[in-house]
Amino acid sequence: MLDMDPVGSLKKSFATAVNEALRGVGLEPIFKPFHVSRVPKTTDMLGLPVGFKLAKKLGLRPDEASRKVAESLKVEDILYAEEIKPVGGYINLKVSESLFKDVLSLASSGNLGRGVKPDSLKLNFVMVEHTSVNPVHPLHVGGGRNAVIGDSYSRILRFSGYNVTVHYLVNDCNLQVALAAAGRIKARNLKPKGKLDHWFGLIYALANASVEMKELESKLDDKEARREYEDWLEAVNRIREKEPEMVDLILGKVSLEETAELLKRYQRGDEEVKPIFREVAESVMEGFLQTLGRMGIRYDSLDWESELIWRGWTEKALKKLEESGYLGREGKAIYVDLRKALLERDDVRKIFGLSEEQVKELVEEGSLDQVVPQKFYLTRSDGTWLYTGTDVAYSLYKIEGVGVERCYNVIATEQTLEQKQVRASVALMGYSADKIVHLAYEMVNLVGMRMSGRKARYVTLDDLLDEAKAKVKEILSNRGEFSEEEVEEISEKVAVGAVRYALVSVSPIKVIQFSWDRVLDFESNSGPFIQYSYTRALGILRKASKEVVKYDVSLLSSELERELMFKIGEFPEVVRGAIEFMRPDLVSQYANELCMLFNRFYERYKVVGSGEYEPARLALVKAFKGVLGVSMDLLGIPRVEKM
RNA sequence: GGGCCCGUAGCUCAGCAAGGAUAGAGCGGCGGCCUUCUAAGCCGCAGGUCGGGGGUUCAAGUCCCCCCGGGCCCGCCA
């Protein structure tokens, strides 16, 4: 295969050469490619802290140790190396011009880093399960974060050569959907209007209000309960303004008992309730897919929780757990016996980060439940499946039914424990727990507003996109050089870019403090900034309008240009890092840094009409455009021609 | 009570995985730059006990221990 990662190859070969030299003096090889770093303040140097690491072992000063090791290095053994010199405790390497030449050429074609898998993950067929929001109300920003992270991660995996299948688990078998179905039954004659997920979201909220307010009515003396009651009242009144008839039909008429009964019948496949559940779930899903599609997010399959039950995957999972001997029953309630598993199985202990001694001690103290609940329930005592049960069955389906080598579950961090329980169950069913990986992300917090799906109070993804789009339109109108169609197209793309960037650019494990200002800030460190930088590159290429066939890369000798070329060359490493650490935000950060460098270059150096420099600079711009374009594709930030 | 996570500039965040050469961005503040390949940009200034304290190391924002502050989880909810 062609070398799609010149910088990576250089680093690998540098580290290997140094390790060889170490072996020559009787020392263990200790350097890895990632230890090689740029030498600050230089335009063409990479270094390894060889002397520092080995001074003690060799009984020399760091600078002497570096010099000694450097003596046995041969430049010609190292890819793209032109010169090697010890500097203090480091060994530095001057890279050859051909490195930049190769980087630029690969970047221009959009192939830099393509198909390069990290050494730690040599799989082929993988699944990403993401979003999987309950189909009962519109997607809000939290769900959006899930979708954007999952989608970006899928794109990154695909680019790196994995065969990726993307699935959405439609959770249609829980009490939340049953509540919405119960509400729909009361208002069966109302015709849905507007966007379906929004409309059914109101039904869902009213069904909740019925149950909750009845519960609260009996204890209104309590201050807390009173406040909660008034909160519900506020929600109801808000809905009344939009759908007075719906409120009259549903409010006070849905009970928890009938809801539980409905769920029971649905899970059994009762033909009478099936169409109602399906109408709710399918309608809301239709709304979801509309919004997600707008953001460029698509799925290879929607997997219905109900089908997992009806097609026997839940039973199959049960059978496997029964056979392995870790299943327990209390009447119709079924659980996985994690106490037994923790005592007996090393693979299960590993999932919970416990040693055999620790488990024994906890069991003796009787405090195991504090760390890991001993029983992991899969069904309720009425025999209906809990989401945990269908989750275990779903894992089995992923492994056996779809046949993936690994599935990344993009699920909120608050579900960390449940995900460990599921992975333990996977291990007990006889598979490596590593087949199921939790890609955890934190919640999105609203400042100055408490979000609640049940109270129909949320910032929806639709709101966010529309708001962003309106702002883009306003900016475009002030520029006054675009046709109506252009304004429409550009504003949609830029809005998507702004929203996606805002949701993906923060490390997944950090809580996002959502603020409108932040998402609608289109300056540096934003989706629009990246899109804008891209159009600037296109502008140059458009104006130049001739193909670069030959250029002298040594004419790109300024610090800035070198910086930019090194940055471009780092792209494959960034992609690998994003995969290994499940951090698509690394790509967004990279794109941002790349653009900052490019904009500085853009302001400082003329390209078109720069005489002898023109071909080389054009090659650089083309490479930038190539690698930025790919980065944007990986993040789902639409490419914009002009803006 | 137990477990996991977060704490870096006024605010929002990178950098920690894999210790290394002056701790970086954006927003906000102040001051500049559009007859030029798009100013959604660029340049400059101000702003930091990297939560606190110990330790390991030639070297600690990064590793270890303790503490403080915040979040999440510990349901036959999802």
CA A268 to chain centre: 35
Element (H, E) at A169: strand A163-170
Q: What is the pLDDT, as a whole number, of residue A43?
A: 85
CA dihedral (A260, A261, A266, A269) in degrees, to 10, reads 140
Task: Evaluate if residue A460 carries a pLDDT over 60.
Answer: yes
Q: What is the pLDDT, as a whole number, of residue A503?
A: 95
Confidence band for A515, pLDDT divided at 50, 70 and 90: confident
Reported as a single tens digit per residue, the pLDDT across A565-575 is: 999 999 999 99
Question: Which residue's alpha carbon is at the shortest distance from the C1' of B71?
Answer: A511
Confidence band for A449, pLDDT divided at 50, 70 and 90: low
Q: Considering all nucleic acid strands, name the nucleotide whose C1' atom is nearest to the C-alpha of residue A385.
A: B76
Q: Report the share of chain A in percent with pLDDT over 70.
A: 99
Q: Considering all nucleic acid strands, name the nucleotide whose C1' atom is nearest to the C-alpha of residue A523.
A: B40
Nearest residue to A606 via CA among A590, A615, A617: A617
Is the four-CA dihedral A140, A144, A145, A150 of positive or negative sign?
Answer: positive
In the numeric block, the tokens 């990246």 are attached to A530
Q: Considering all nucleic acid strands, name the nucleotide whose C1' atom is nearest to the C-alpha of residue A42.
A: B21
Q: What is the pLDDT, as a whole number, of residue A381?
A: 93
Does residue A310 approach strand B to less than 7 Å at its CB? no
From CA A280, how far away is CA A76, in angstroms rounded?
Answer: 68
Using the structure, give the distance in angstroms from the CA atom of A61 to the C1' atom of B60, rounded to a whole number.
Answer: 21
Q: Considering all nucleic acid strands, name the nucleotide whose C1' atom is nearest to the C-alpha of residue A176.
A: B78
Give the DSSP letter of residue A295.
T
Record the tokens describing residue A534, joined without a space.
């891209």
| Mean pLDDT score, A208-213 | 94
Q: What is the pLDDT, as a whole number, of residue A431?
A: 97
Using the structure, give the distance in angstroms from the CA atom of A525 to the C1' atom of B49, rounded to a whole number.
Answer: 29
Q: What is the pLDDT, as a whole number, of residue A450?
A: 63
Q: What is the pLDDT, as a whole number, of residue A249?
A: 97
- How deeply is A64 buried, as exposed, middle or buried, from its count of CB atoms within 10 A (0-12, 13-18, 19+)? middle
Q: Where are the alpha helices (DSSP H) in A25-113?
A: 50-58, 62-71, 97-108
Does residue A373 approach strand B to less than 7 Å at its CB? yes
Per the structure, the residues numbered 192 to 251 in protein chain A that have their CB within 7 angstroms of any atom of strand B are: none
Does residue A473 approach strand B to less than 7 Å at its CB? no
Give the DSSP letter of residue A188.
T
Confidence band for A393, pLDDT divided at 50, 70 and 90: very high
Q: Where are the alpha helices (DSSP H) in A295-432?
A: 305-310, 313-324, 338-344, 346-351, 356-365, 368-371, 387-396, 416-428
Q: Which of A27-31, A182-186, A252-256, A561-565 has the lowest average pLDDT?
A: A27-31
Does residue A540 approach strand B to less than 7 Å at its CB? yes
Does residue A382 approach strand B to less than 7 Å at its CB? yes
Strand B: which nucleotides have any atom within 7 A of a protein Cβ?
A: 1-6, 12-15, 17-18, 20-22, 25-28, 36-43, 58-59, 71-78
Q: Considering all nucleic acid strands, name the nucleotide whose C1' atom is nearest to the C-alpha of residue A173.
A: B78
Q: What is the ipTM of this complex?
A: 0.95
A274-294 helix and A461-479 helix, angle to the nearest 10 degrees: 30
CA dihedral (A110, A116, A118, A124) in degrees, to 10, reads 120
Does residue A523 approach strand B to less than 7 Å at its CB? yes
Using the structure, give the distance in angstroms from the CA atom of A36 to the C1' atom of B18, rounded to a whole number.
Answer: 11
Which residues are A440's β-sheet partners?
A411
Record the tokens describing residue A151, joined without a space.
């989608």
- How deeply is A99 buried, as exposed, middle or buried, from its count of CB atoms within 10 A (0-12, 13-18, 19+)? buried
Task: Tell me what the pLDDT averaged over chain A comes to.
Answer: 93
Confidence band for A348, pLDDT divided at 50, 70 and 90: very high
| Mean pLDDT score, A622-642 | 97
Contact A359, A346 (CB under 8 A): no
Q: Considering all nucleic acid strands, name the nucleotide whose C1' atom is nearest to the C-alpha of residue A49.
A: B20
Q: What is the pLDDT, as a whole number, of residue A448?
A: 61
Does residue A529 approach strand B to less than 7 Å at its CB? yes
Confidence band for A447, pLDDT divided at 50, 70 and 90: low
Confidence band for A204, pLDDT divided at 50, 70 and 90: very high
Is the four-CA dihedral A330, A333, A338, A344 of positive or negative sign?
Answer: positive
Confidence band for A2, pLDDT divided at 50, 70 and 90: low
Confidence band for A560, pLDDT divided at 50, 70 and 90: very high
Task: Evaluate if residue A366 carries a pLDDT over 90.
Answer: no
Reported as a single tens digit per residue, the pLDDT across A463-473 is: 999 999 999 99
Reported as a single tens digit per residue, the pLDDT across A267-276 is: 999 999 999 9
